[in-house]
A and B are shown apart, each in its own frame.
Chain A
């Protein structure tokens, strides 16, 4: 059996016990990537030499009797918007096609300190802007469950890589759902920690008040393990939190006894596909069966989260992406005789359509005469949204809702209409605006006919917790996972 058939914790335990070597685990990962990546396009870069050298180091450490870290020898993948020294990092953008970071993101140094072996960088929407992975300069990732459908975005490569068994753990980033939505679409677990829980140093910035790094895994327990490695204050990120980091794994006791689970009935009633609705209602009953109590709640401003999100995130993006100008790194237009032309041509050649659209929208809403009507108004409604959630958390411990309103849609289905694409983010964006932790776990499948057969498409359940209460959030998700077998099903890619 492949060393990758089990989760991150089992691989690490097998390596520590000597049942498998880190080099063998790494080779199994590289072999699986070589087998499936031609159909999935999940990886922008695979660095076998670097990975095998790292794995050999872990094996030598074990042989010498040194203590091994909590992720010793576990093959992992990084979304291609996180810097690892010496590994090309593109954010799936032409403008960074040649960029080789001179430093490690804090998450990279923490993972490697814990013994993890980075095998490669995963494809994503350009600068993490997208919900389908179709905005990549290197082509879309394909969903392992149905190759003509989206894996979700923007961390589509990380979700597909975990779903297809290339790695048991991949990092994604989540600005408006970019970990949770692809996790739901690919049938894996995806955790967005509380804003500030994980350092953003070395993450290519998209919207700095919303961006957060988190793990995608096959199991909730592996997400808890990964978060324990990733979390904690970092002097290199002034927004990283000094909150105590609990033992997340210890919180997973297998039940939801005494947990009050809020269900925003009105919010999840409109525009939700019947298959998602059915899976969600069934999941609530399972949670009740593990000891949770269901409580109806109201989030009256949640329906405004999409316009608030797309005004706030584009404003921040227009500022963050000003740095890509052809001077310090990345693409430079060859045909520029003035500095102004150099900037504008470089950016026109280097950025794809969605990134340009968001820079344009963000520049517009921040410009004189429109700031109050759009940006300031959005920030005020963001406050009302925070108050909605604060009020709900007075009577519940976690909130449950679907991760997405529909199963994974077809590639090309929404590319001509950006607004339709944005509307698909309705259940994920408010969590980022408020800063809360949220996790998506598989909660069922829907069979959809296609010529010559049918596709089995995953559906995700989202559990949202209080600020810095990933422990309870993960506990409920883990109790649900143990009571079901959705996460044990694998695509046949």
Chain B
């Protein structure tokens, strides 16, 4: 049985999810997520020994020939960028190295 959720858990999950939460959000989510997880505990009482997992309900052959086709132009792909550099065809981000 998983142990009760703590603020430290919420901070660790927020870091994984790239969400910079405020202290107030951390407190609210700790309580609300704990409520939801406690409710979900009822699944532990169901015997699922040997039961396969369903990840998808409509499995079928989905391969196609790997042929080049037209796609978005660079200009279209960059048109929504908050800091695009269309003259060189790039998205600009803060410096990552050095």
Contact check, A307 vs B42: say whether CB atoms are below 8 A apart: yes
**How far is B95's CA from A341's CA once the two chains are assembled, in angstroms?**
12
Pick from B13, B36, B64, B93: contact of A235, CB under 8 Å: B64
| B16 CB-CB contact with A under 8 Å | yes
Pick from A306, A329, A336: contact of B94, CB under 8 Å: A336
What is the minimal beta-carbon distance from A81 to any residue of chain B, in angstroms? 16
Contact check, B53 vs A356: say whether CB atoms are below 8 A apart: no
Contact check, B51 vs A209: say whether CB atoms are below 8 A apart: no
Q: Kindly report which residue of chain A lies nearest to residue B29, judged by CB atoms.
A: A360
Pick from A310, A379, A380: contact of B36, CB under 8 Å: A310
A317-352 residues at the B interface, CB under 8 angstroms: 318, 322, 325-332, 336-345, 347-348, 351
Contact check, A209 vs B18: say whether CB atoms are below 8 A apart: no
Q: Which B residues are CB-close (under 8 A) to A384?
A: 46, 48, 51
**How far is B55's CA from A194's CA once the two chains are assembled, in angstroms?**
16
**How far is B46's CA from A297's CA once the two chains are assembled, in angstroms?**
21
Pick from B9, B17, B76: contact of A102, CB under 8 Å: B76
Contact check, B32 vs A357: say whether CB atoms are below 8 A apart: yes
Pick from B2, B36, B60, B62: contact of A419, CB under 8 Å: B36
Contact check, B14 vs A339: say whether CB atoms are below 8 A apart: no
Pick from A195, A336, A376: contact of B53, CB under 8 Å: A376
Interface size on A, residues (CB 8 A): 74
Contact check, A347 vs B42: say whether CB atoms are below 8 A apart: no
Contact check, B39 vs A379: say whether CB atoms are below 8 A apart: no
Q: Which B residues are CB-close (under 8 A) to A357?
A: 29, 32-33
Given contacts A310-B40, A364-B13, contact A370 B80 (CB under 8 A): no
**How far is B43's CA from A310's CA once the two chains are assembled, in angstroms?**
12
Contact check, A330 vs B80: say whether CB atoms are below 8 A apart: yes
| A480 CB-CB contact with B under 8 Å | no
A61-107 residues at the B interface, CB under 8 angstroms: 98-100, 102-103
Contact check, A342 vs B94: say whether CB atoms are below 8 A apart: yes
| A363 CB-CB contact with B under 8 Å | yes
Given contacts A357-B33, A373-B2, A380-B52, contact A332 B18 (CB under 8 A): no
Pick from B1, B14, B46: contact of A360, CB under 8 Å: B14
Q: Kindly report which residue of chain B lies nearest to residue A434, judged by CB atoms.
A: B57
| A383 CB-CB contact with B under 8 Å | yes
Given contacts A311-B40, A367-B13, contact A301 B46 (CB under 8 A): yes
Q: Which B residues are CB-close (under 8 A) to A347?
A: 17-20
Contact check, A307 vs B39: say whether CB atoms are below 8 A apart: yes
| A114 CB-CB contact with B under 8 Å | no
Contact check, A332 vs B83: say whether CB atoms are below 8 A apart: yes
Contact check, B13 vs A363: say whether CB atoms are below 8 A apart: yes
What is the minimal beta-carbon distance from B73 to any residue of chain A, in angstroms? 8
Pick from A209, A307, A369: contact of B57, CB under 8 Å: A209
Q: Which A residues are CB-close (under 8 A) to B72?
A: 102-103
Q: Kindly report which residue of chain B lies nearest to residue A337, judged by CB atoms.
A: B94
Interface size on B, residues (CB 8 A): 50
| A219 CB-CB contact with B under 8 Å | no
Q: Which A residues are CB-close (under 8 A) to B44?
A: 373, 377
Pick from B19, B53, B60: contact of A241, CB under 8 Å: B60
B1-55 residues at the A interface, CB under 8 angstroms: 1-2, 9-10, 13-14, 16-22, 25, 29, 32-33, 35-37, 39-40, 42-44, 46, 48, 51-55
What is the minimal beta-carbon distance from A314 to any residue of chain B, in angstroms? 9
**How far is B48's CA from A407's CA once the two chains are assembled, in angstroms?**
35
Pick from B33, B37, B80, B96: contact of A339, CB under 8 Å: B96
**How far is B33's CA from A418's CA once the two chains are assembled, in angstroms?**
9
Q: Kindly report which residue of chain A lies nearest to residue B18, judged by CB atoms.
A: A343
Q: Which A residues are CB-close (under 8 A) to B96?
A: 339
**How far is B39's CA from A422's CA once the two chains are assembled, in angstroms?**
11
Q: Which A residues are CB-close (under 8 A) to B22?
A: 348
Contact check, A419 vs B33: say whether CB atoms are below 8 A apart: no
**How far is B55's CA from A100's CA once the two chains are assembled, in angstroms?**
32
Q: Kindly report which residue of chain A lies nearest to residue B51, judged by CB atoms.
A: A380
**How far is B16's CA from A418's CA once the two chains are assembled, in angstroms?**
22
Given contacts A195-B58, A307-B40, A327-B93, contact A345 B16 (CB under 8 A): no
| A43 CB-CB contact with B under 8 Å | no
A residues adjacent to B (C-beta < 8 A): 98-100, 102-103, 194-196, 209, 235, 238-239, 241-242, 301, 304, 306-308, 310-311, 318, 322, 325-332, 336-345, 347-348, 351, 353, 356-357, 359-361, 363-364, 367, 369-370, 373-374, 376-384, 386, 418-419, 422, 433-435, 467
Task: Jot down 21 A-B pairs with beta carbons below 8 A, ordered by A.
Answer: A195-B57, A239-B62, A307-B43, A308-B43, A326-B82, A327-B81, A328-B91, A330-B80, A342-B94, A344-B19, A344-B20, A348-B21, A351-B19, A361-B36, A377-B44, A380-B48, A381-B48, A384-B51, A386-B54, A418-B35, A467-B57
| Ranked 8 nearest A-B pairs via Cβ | A435-B57, A379-B53, A329-B80, A332-B82, A344-B20, A238-B62, A380-B48, A102-B76
